[in-house]
Amino acid sequence: MKTKEKYDVVIIGGGPNGLGITAYLAKCGLKVCLCEARLEVGGACEGIEPIPGFKIHPHAVINYAAAGPGLEQLELHKYGMRMAWAKVFGAAVTKDQQRCAVGGRWCPQETREGMLTFSEEAAATTGAIYEIMNAPECKEFLRSIFWTPPPPEGVTLEPKDLPWVKAIKKLPMLDQVYDDSWLDMSTMDLCDLLLQEDAQKVGFCLSSLDNGPDPFSKGMGIFGLADTLLMMYAGSSPLGGMHSYMHALMRCALAHGATILTNSKVEEIIVEYGEAKGVELADEAPCRDKVILADKAVISATHVKPTFLELIAPKHLDKGFIQRVKDINLNGGSLFVFNLIVKESPKFKGKGGELVNKCTPLLTAFPVDGREELLNLRRAICVERRHPIKREEAILRCVYLSHADRTLCPPGYQILYNFFSVPPPEYHRDGPEAVNKASDELVALGLEMYRDYCTNMTDDNIVATFVNTPYDSSFRNMGLVGGNFQAIRAGEDEWWVNRPLPELSRYRTPIDKLYLCNQTSHPGGLALMGVPYCLMHILIEDLDLKPGNWWYPSPYYISEREVKAAVV
């Protein structure tokens, strides 16, 4: 017979969002149980050690959460969270290797030096970007986007009342040039308006593509711009990798009394009379109690598709709703990752490359010249639905993980995390295994590019290669449908009040007491603790929580109570 255990809240999935909400609720004094299918928590923020002593990251590598409230509210420093700060965040080298755009909040000198390889005017624009990033209001701008819950369903905000419009009007310089036409623009449109050099524009657009909206997606420009600011504001890797950030979250949750069950796959969300009552674990789960009941709430911190299409019996859901969940678009955000263990870091050629060698940025992209490669890359992925094959459609991004963090590999070696954008397996024109089958070719393409741009990326420098495809990701982690770092498309129709569907945008669901807390909800992908922070606002209302003085809400939050009061 299946025995039953009872908690206030049960959480399904221990990725950054599941762990984050577990820690928040445990800190509020609730009896919380997190069920994770895998042997380890952390979701897509995981580390593996395929060769003893060498730590490889198949997915997430950079932490962009510094501008948000989560690290501070959960006091993660008390639980072992440390950063391996990189002074220079990013660099982008041009095809002729003579120019190099540099960026990051802590490197104004290097940035100026880089932009001077383009023009005096470009260097001056960069000075303006620093003024924006260093203004205290920059944090508020980022929070207005990534750490603010969407308004209640049915509330339509006028442009002047949108959180980011209010916040942008407080930013130096941007307050002077902003007008409401920005709301319809793409990231590239905004770059055309604000920047001079194509390389800089493509750099901003790549940040958008790698962390959020497609750079040519209309109406997403402000969010794409915010993605670049988020990266440059304080993007760096946690000491020991992203998984150590997850350990800090886990320790925080445990210290506040949470129960964390690993190897405990949830097979079903128990629903009675339209209300979530708890979960049923797989028979193989090691714990005695296979049924875990929840008095106050069940929170699904896995992807929206399996939540409604696999974990809940269809009889509890409306057929139209099930179809809308099936129709949610997974496109955008799938990455082909290959880690290289090398004896020596790449030595870039040319005047632009020399700057990269001198400042060892955390992230380097090449070639970043004009928009041609970006357009070719997008055409291949989104229109022709295939991975890049030719040089003209490939932009290689490379993260120098071990430069700032010597805990990742033994002395005498470096780890380079590299990636190309590819379509999600489900949408690849040649079938879901196409990128896996092309792995060797994609690595060869990356190495060919390295060899053109660097003097020392020869066979004797490369010790080992580890590939992770989006298809691999979806097997590693059931939550990573499409192996996608933002889970579903970040376009106007799947963002903010529409993410993942309008009726789910406040994290509530058609099932009473069932909530969502996965990257499929606003603000989307990245381990920002944005989803748990936003969900907390809703749970404070619904569960009548009384967090301590450590809690502060988003200044832009609109509660249902306020809306009702306004109507009355």
Ligand X SMILES: Cc1cc2nc3c(=O)[nH]c(=O)nc-3n(C[C@H](O)[C@H](O)[C@H](O)COP(=O)(O)OP(=O)(O)OC[C@H]3O[C@@H](n4cnc5c(N)ncnc54)[C@H](O)[C@@H]3O)c2cc1C
Q: Give 256 or 265: the residue with its C-beta nearer to ligand X.
A: 265
Q: Which of 11, 14, 91, 381 binds ligand X (CB under 6 A)?
A: 14
Q: Among residues 60 and 534, whose Cβ is nearest to ligand X?
A: 60
Q: What angle do CA 555, 494, 467 make, to 5 degrees?
A: 105
Residue 226, interface with ligand X (CB under 6 A)? no
Residue 222 lies near ligand X (rule: CB under 6 A): no
* 61 lies in the binding site for ligand X (CB under 6 A): yes
Chain positions 338 to 397 lying near ligand X, rule: CB under 6 A, are none
Total residues at the site for ligand X (CB under 6 A)? 37
Residue of 10, 26, 45, 129 interacting with ligand X (CB under 6 A): 45
Position 136: which residue type? P
**If you search the block for the tokens 């708890």, which residue do you land on?**
278
- The nearest distance, CB 526 to ligand X, in angstroms, is 4
- Closest approach of ligand X to the CB of residue 135, in Å: 24
Question: Which part of the chain contacts ligand X (CB under 6 A), choosing from 30-38, 126-134, 175-183, 218-226?
Answer: 30-38
Q: Which of 225, 276, 527, 529 binds ligand X (CB under 6 A)?
A: 527
Figure out which of the listed residues 30, 36, 221, 230 binds ligand X, where binding follows CB under 6 A.
36
Binder of ligand X out of 7, 10, 11, 15 (CB under 6 A):
15
Residue 425 interacting with ligand X (CB under 6 A): no
Query: According to the binding rule CB under 6 A, does residue 12 interact with ligand X?
Result: yes
Among 23, 26, 33, 60, binds ligand X (CB under 6 A): 60
Non-local (6+) Cβ contacts of 28 within 8 A are: 545, 546, 547
Task: Kindly state whether residue 480 participates in binding ligand X, applying the rule CB under 6 A.
Answer: yes
Beta pairing, strands 32-35 & 266-272: unpaired
Query: Of the two residues 165 and 311, which places its CB atom closer to ligand X in the complex?
Result: 311
CA dihedral of 556, 45, 17, 525, whole degrees rounded to 10 = 50
CA angle 334, 305, 474 (to 5 degrees): 40
CA distance linking residue 396 with residue 417, whole number of Å: 11
CB of 413 to ligand X, least distance (A): 21
Residue 300 CB, nearest distance to ligand X (Å)?
Answer: 9
Cα torsion angle, 81, 82, 87, 89, sign? negative
Give the tokens for residue 128. 């303006």
By the 8 A CB rule, do 559 and 537 touch?
Answer: yes
CB of 73 or CB of 518, closer to ligand X: 518
CB atoms closer than 10 angstroms to residue 410? 11
* Binding characters for ligand X, 484-513, by CB under 6 A (x = yes): -x----------------------------
- The three-class DSSP label of residue 363 is strand
Single out the residue of 102, 171, 260, 335 in contact with ligand X (rule: CB under 6 A). Answer: 335
Helices (H), 28-173: 70-73, 108-116, 120-134, 136-146, 163-168
Cα 213 to Cα 222: distance, rounded to the nearest angstrom: 10
Minimal distance, residue 210 CB to ligand X, in Å: 8
Interior/surface letters 423-440, b for 16+ CB within 10 angstroms, e for the rest: bbbbbbeeebebbbebbe
Residues 6+ apart with CB under 8 A from 248: 76, 79, 80, 81
Residue 12's H or E segment, with its range, is strand 4-12
Region of 100-108, 153-161, 180-188, 475-483 interacting with ligand X (CB under 6 A): 475-483
Of the two residues 203 and 352, which places its CB atom closer to ligand X in the complex? Answer: 203
Q: How many helices (H) and strands (E) does the chain have?
A: 21, 18
Residue selected from 9, 44, 93, 138 as contacting ligand X according to rule CB under 6 A: 44
Among 7, 54, 64, 471, binds ligand X (CB under 6 A): 64
Beta bridge partners of 78: none
Name the one range near ligand X by CB under 6 A: 38-46, 97-105, 379-387, 408-416. 38-46
Rg (CA), the chain: 23
Instruction: Say whether residue 337 binds ligand X (CB under 6 A).
Output: yes
Token pair listed for 126: 């960069």
Stretch in the footprint of ligand X (CB under 6 A) among 213-221, 314-322, 385-393, 525-533: 525-533
Per the listing, tokens 């025995």 go with: 3
**Residue numbers 254-313 binding ligand X by CB under 6 A:** 265-266, 301-302
Contact of 526 with 6, CB cutoff 8 Å: no
Is residue 477 a contact residue for ligand X (CB under 6 A)? yes
Sites of contact with ligand X (CB under 6 A): 12-18, 35-38, 43-45, 59-62, 64, 265-266, 301-302, 335, 337, 473, 477-480, 483, 485, 518-519, 525-527
